Amino acid sequence: MSHATIAPVTRAISPSAIPLHDILPWAIFAGLLSLVAIYFVGAEQGATSIFEGMYVHEFVHDARHLLGFPCH
Amino acid sequence: MVPALLMRGMLIGILAGLLAFGFARVFGEPPVERAIALEGAPSHSHGGGDTADTHGAADEPELVSRDVQRGLGLLTGTVVYGAALGGILALVFAYAQGRLGAIGPRATAALLALAGFAVIYLVPQIKYPASPPVVSSPETIGPRTALYLSMVLFSLAAAVAALAGGRRAARALGLWNGAILGGALYLGAVTAAMLALPAVTEMPAEFPAALLWDFRLAAVGTQAVLWAALGLGFGLVAERRLEAARGSGLLRAA
């Protein structure tokens, strides 16, 4: 608080910024999990299938159409 | 701090998914039902082996009833999608917070959600818009999914590159000009991609234009509700959490 200088907006990294190495493990773990979840809502048993059949596709059918994923 | 933000992001995502479900149920389901009714079949099922007639056969057994599709199925889809996006938003927020210049946590979250809505949903939808049931061919689902995914990934990559370019330009030309340059870079790149990627032209000429408009408006609205709830809701709880951490000087703990 002793310096009243304002750093250039594009360079300023606030002291409250969370260090990248704190974020990375969570980003990998939860990021992958989230992408898998989006895959099951958006594409499983459509373009590609992990499980056989059409149950997942039919179950989330309306969500797939209304969320804008390619469907039929 | 990161797990605390992640948990909040996913919880707000579930809430946003519930709101999106409400919107989709009220505004999205009527056009979906009208589109299905156009086929003359009470249900939209793909169970038959004869691909030429997968949609029309009313006597095909339903794998999932329409009631479940527009109820529990729609709810599950929007909530899982919301929770996943909420988690991703929390992670991006954890990195962006404090690195985007002189804006607070609430504005950071709102800005990220707005950018996310535009970059990974709205812009790709301009090239490959959502289509109601029945109009698209089951045989082309593979290429259509690949094209849509390419458009999403390209838009995301273009946005990241434009952000980096814009920030660099802002140092030399000032924030205003840098932002304009970054925006122009992004729009130029996605326009080029839209021109280069093949079009999907499966919509039958006789499909009612008003019905298509209703469906697509409801589809955009569903995503807009989800992202708005996500950005505003997460910003609120994230700011509280950050302030609590700052107060106790434990920003990097927990």
Q: Among B72, B63, B73, B21, which Cα is nearest to B43's?
A: B63
Minimum CA–CA partner of A6 in chain B: B102
pLDDT of residue B138: 84
Q: Would you call A44 helix, strand, or coil by DSSP?
A: strand
Domain ranges of chain A: 29-66
In percent, how much of chain B has pLDDT > 90?
Answer: 73
The answer to ipTM > 0.90 is: no
Would you call A63 and B73 a contact, using CB atoms and an 8 Å cutoff? yes
Compare all CA atoms of chain B with the CA of A17 and give the residue at the minimum distance: B98
Using pLDDT thresholds of 50, 70 and 90, give the confidence band for residue B53.
very low
**Phi and psi torsions of A44, nearest 5°:** -60, 140
Average pLDDT on B59-64 reads: 70
pLDDT band of residue A11 (cuts 50, 70, 90) is: low
Higher pLDDT, A22 or B49: A22
Q: Which residue of A has its CA nearest to B227?
A: A67
Which positions ≥6 away from B177 have C-beta within 8 Å? B169, B170
Which residue in A10, A22, A66 is closest to B178 by CB distance?
Answer: A10
- Domain positions in chain B are 1-44+65-135+205-254, 137-202
pLDDT tens, position by position, B92-151 = 999 999 888 888 999 999 999 999 999 999 999 999 999 999 888 888 899 999 999 999
pLDDT at B232 exceeding the cut of 80: yes
The CA-based angle B49-A45-B79, given to 5 degrees, is: 135
Cα dihedral B74, B79, B80, B81, rounded to 10, equals: 90
Mind listing the pLDDT tens digit for each residue in B211-228?
999 999 999 999 999 999
Which tens digit of pLDDT belongs to each residue from A26-63? 999 999 999 999 999 998 888 888 888 889 999 999 99
| pLDDT of B251 | 53
Q: What pLDDT shows up at residue A47?
A: 82
The confidence band for A12, taking pLDDT boundaries of 50, 70 and 90, is low
Distance between start and end Cα atoms, chain A:
60
Angle of the A20-42 helix axis to the B2-23 helix axis, nearest 10: 30
**CB < 8 Å to A52, chain B:** none
pTM of the model: 0.87
Q: How many CB pairs under 8 A join A and B?
A: 188
Contacts of B178 in chain A (CB under 8 A): 10
* Residue A16 confidence class, pLDDT cut points 50, 70, 90: confident
Which residues are bridge partners to A48 per DSSP? A44
Between CA A71 and CA B131 the distance in angstroms is: 8
pLDDT confidence of residue B57:
44
What residues of chain A lie within 8 A of the CB of B28, using their CB? 62, 66
Asked whether the beta carbons of B235 and B227 are under 8 A apart, the reply is no
pLDDT tens for residues B23-36?
Answer: 999 999 999 999 99
Residue B125's pLDDT is 97
Q: What is the pLDDT of residues B160-198, one digit of tens each?
A: 999 999 999 999 999 999 999 999 999 999 999 999 999
